[in-house]
């Protein structure tokens, strides 16, 4: 995927769900993975010419794993002229060693979100952008159906009610395969996840399930995404197509 197509898809989402207002200060939660680094590039590029002026910064949470190397992210942010803030924590040790959680993802995500939000508020940002792409939306819906018995996917725009910080998901129209292609084409320095349970989670199960469904029923992913967007899901904005 070329940069022009990425910017077009992200801009469509920004405008359809009115994600940007004049003077916004948007923090991108950067894990070092392909999705967050792609989103960071897209928002930085759009900030140069978008009709409503906004600024972008990057925030990473260091979980404290010994094999974590942020040098690639730091160099990438310098190249984009985006300020980077790294929050150093011991979340990995707490979750994996002290608590020895059998299902560590939930607690880790909660603690990581807390550290992320605290830093973003300290930086004076009013919005945070997450890099969930189209496949993530469909996978979340499948997980909700299978494990909770609900038809749900996280909304394009929502809020942390206790802080007023707005959450944006500008990559919702971008497919994961396109993100991979973009990173390969532009040689994005993707950081390997240091998490010891990476690739063994319920989301990975949903990802493999979606891949199988799409293989056996071409076009199924797009139809499921359409059902999400048009499904009047709780917390989703009521916007006419």
25-67 pLDDT, tens per residue? 999 999 899 999 999 999 999 999 999 999 999 999 988 887 7
For 187, counting Cβ atoms within 10 Å of its Cβ (0-12 exposed, 13-18 middle, 19+ buried), the class is exposed
Q: Could you give the C-alpha distances from 159 to 119, 154, 168, 235, 238, in angstroms and in order?
A: 16, 11, 9, 10, 16
Residue 234 falls within a domain, yes or no? Answer: no
**Average pLDDT of span 81-94:** 89
Residue 240 falls within a domain, yes or no? Answer: no
pLDDT in tens, 196-239: 666 557 888 999 999 999 999 999 999 999 999 999 898 888 77
Residue 241 falls within a domain, yes or no? Answer: no
Residue 142 falls within a domain, yes or no? Answer: yes
User: What domain range is 88 assigned to?
Assistant: 3-229
Model pTM above 0.85: yes
Residue 169 falls within a domain, yes or no? Answer: yes
State which H helix or E strand residue 158 sits in. strand 157-160
Query: How far is Cα 136 from Cα 28, in angstroms, rounded to an integer?
Result: 17
Does position 99 have pLDDT exceeding 80, yes or no?
A: no
DSSP per-residue string spanning 92-109: HHIIIIIS--SSHHHHHH
CA-CA-CA-CA dihedral for 9, 30, 198, 181, to nearest 10: 40
Total number of domains constituting the chain = 1
Residue 236 falls within a domain, yes or no? Answer: no
Quote the percentage of the chain above a pLDDT of 90.
71
The confidence band for 129, taking pLDDT boundaries of 50, 70 and 90, is very high
Quote the percentage of the chain above a pLDDT of 70.
93
DSSP per-residue string spanning 162-188: TTTEEEE-TTTTS-HHHHHHHHHHTT-
Residue 198 falls within a domain, yes or no? Answer: yes
User: With contact defined as beta carbons under 8 Å apart, do 165 and 113 qualify?
Assistant: no
Please tell me the number of Cα atoms within 13 Å of 6 on its side-chain side: 26
Query: How far is Cα 240 from Cα 42, in angstroms, rounded to an integer?
Result: 26
List of residues 6+ apart from 159 with CB closer than 8 A: 165, 166, 167
pLDDT value, residue 241: 53
Tokens encoding 19: 């994600």
**Average pLDDT of span 14-34:** 96
CATH number at residue 137: 3.40.50.620
Total residue count of the chain as it appears in this document: 241
Q: Is 46 helix (H, G, I), strand (E, B) or coil?
A: helix
Rounded to the nearest 5°, which phi and psi values hold at 76? -65, -45
Residue 62 falls within a domain, yes or no? Answer: yes
């Amino acid at each position: 995927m070329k940069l022009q197509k990425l910017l077009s898809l992200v801009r469509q989402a920004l405008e359809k769900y009115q994600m940007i207002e004049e003077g916004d200060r948007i923090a991108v939660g950067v894990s070092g993975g392909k999705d967050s680094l792609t989103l960071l590039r897209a928002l930085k590029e759009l900030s140069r010419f978008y009709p409503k002026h906004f600024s972008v910064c990057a925030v990473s949470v260091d979980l404290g794993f010994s094999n974590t190397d942020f040098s690639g992210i730091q160099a990438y942010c310098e190249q984009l002229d985006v300020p980077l803030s790294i929050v150093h924590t011991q979340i990995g040790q707490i979750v994996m060693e002290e608590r020895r959680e059998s299902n560590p993802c939930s607690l880790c995500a909660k603690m990581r979100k807390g550290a992320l939000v605290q830093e973003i508020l300290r930086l004076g940002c009013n919005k945070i952008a997450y890099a969930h792409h189209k496949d993530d939306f469909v996978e979340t819906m499948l997980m909700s159906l299978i494990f909770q018995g609900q038809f749900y996917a996280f909304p394009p725009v929502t809020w942390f009610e206790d802080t007023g910080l707005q959450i944006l998901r500008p990559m919702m129209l971008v497919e994961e395969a396109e993100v991979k292609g973009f990173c390969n084409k532009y040689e994005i320095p993707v950081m390997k996840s240091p998490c010891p349970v990476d690739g063994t989670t319920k989301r990975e199960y949903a990802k493999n399930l979606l891949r199988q469904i799409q293989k056996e029923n071409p076009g199924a992913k797009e139809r499921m995404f359409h059902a999400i967007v048009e499904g009047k899901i709780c917390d989703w904005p009521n916007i006419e197509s």
